[in-house]
Amino acid sequence: MKKRLVALLVTASMMAMSLFGCSSPESADDAADAAAETPAEESTGEEAAAESTEDNNYIAMIALGFSHQYWQAVKQGAEEAAEELGYRITFEGPEQETMVDKQVDMLKTAIQNNPAAICMAAIDTQSVAEILQEEKAKGIPIVGFDAGVGEEESDVKCSTDSVAAGALAAEHAGELLGGEGKIAIIGHSQTVIDAVERVQGFEEKIKADYPGIEIVDIQYGDGDHVKSAEIAKSMVTAVPDLDLIYTSNEGSCVGAYNGLKEAGKIGEVMLIGFDSSAAMKEAVRSGEIVGAITQDPIGMGRAAVESAVKLLNGEEVESFIDTGCYWYDASNMDDENIAPLLYD
């Protein structure tokens, strides 16, 4: 290949001299020297693939979603940790947190790039169980974050203790109601583990500590604003003396808020949310949402990457790392330990 390149350069040089009468023509040797100094293509496709396979500093992260600011905050924390530890990450998720098939495809594509470790928040743990078990059998560390993955597939889970978070919301609901009243719940998923646990923790706490409070209805709106708004309106119609609605994520909270507003029930039916957004923060500050639970998504992203690196280095890691949850309302949302956890 090199000889052919030299011959072509020599021919081109001679043609140039004959056409333009160059006063300082290059010799064949000069042309050969110039060709030798010309950088060739660095590697073939096979060589690039081999380099990718040997890259032990790549961690693939696949989330429930991507567009919401919550996931961008998780991504921020993960990127910060990766940079500090000398690793690189990819962070992706489907547009909707119900797109199981798309998330499975993302996982398969990430695996083709030979990651050293995989961090994942699965929409449906069963849909990815076999794939992750195969990777784990190869010695690839599997870290669950947020909703996590199945227990059998996970080496460690970095997440909010969702049962405890639901219980914290229930504790404040009980206090706000003075231990008596009627509550309805709008959840966002019956399959995502953390979503189920947020409702479970709330229910268990109310039943155990507040016998005077009745949970009259539980419905699910997929975290969709429109669906959750319709559910909220149907709840206040079916139960005219409803006192409070608890919602398990940002989408269900904003949707319920819109529904209560449309039904003219803001201020009459209390609303407790989960997570954060610009709309939620504004409504909490005004008191139209009485309070909400926030997580620490930046800390969660950091913990996931840090745990993956520890596993890669052969270090011991706890099977569950609680990244924390906090109650916020109009009275404390500007506190220095709360404000950084409230994302738009």
pLDDT score, position 330: 98
Q: State yes or no: pLDDT of 18 exceeds 90.
A: no
- Dihedral over alpha carbons 334, 336, 341, 344 (to 10 degrees): 40
pLDDT digits (tens, 9 = 90+) for 260-287: 999 999 999 999 999 999 999 999 999 9
Inter-residue contact 203 to 331 (CB < 8 Å): no
Closest to 34 (Cα-Cα) out of 8, 70, 66: 8
pLDDT digits (tens, 9 = 90+) for 131-184: 999 999 999 999 999 999 999 999 999 999 999 999 999 999 999 999 999 999
pLDDT score, position 241: 98
Exposure pattern of 197-216 as b/e (b: 16+ CB <10 Å)? bbbebbbebbeeebeebbbb
pLDDT score, position 115: 97
Q: Is 92 helix (H, G, I), strand (E, B) or coil?
A: strand
CA distance 160 to 322: 5
The domain made up of 162-295 has a fold known as: Rossmann fold (3.40.50)
Whether this prediction's pTM lies above 0.75 is answered by no
Mean pLDDT over residues 225-246, rounded?
A: 98
CA distance 35 to 274: 65
Mean pLDDT, the chain, integer? 87
* CATH code of domain 57-160+297-313: 3.40.50.2300
Q: State yes or no: pLDDT of 16 exceeds 70.
A: no
Q: State yes or no: pLDDT of 1 exceeds 60.
A: no
Inter-residue contact 110 to 58 (CB < 8 Å): no
pLDDT score, position 191: 86
pLDDT score, position 158: 97
pLDDT score, position 182: 98
pLDDT score, position 55: 57
Mean pLDDT over residues 33-37, rounded?
A: 40
Domain with CATH 3.40.50.2300 in the chain: 57-160+297-313, 162-295
pLDDT digits (tens, 9 = 90+) for 52-93: 444 579 999 999 999 888 899 999 999 999 999 999 999 999
CA distance 271 to 247: 8
Inter-residue contact 272 to 289 (CB < 8 Å): yes
pLDDT score, position 69: 82
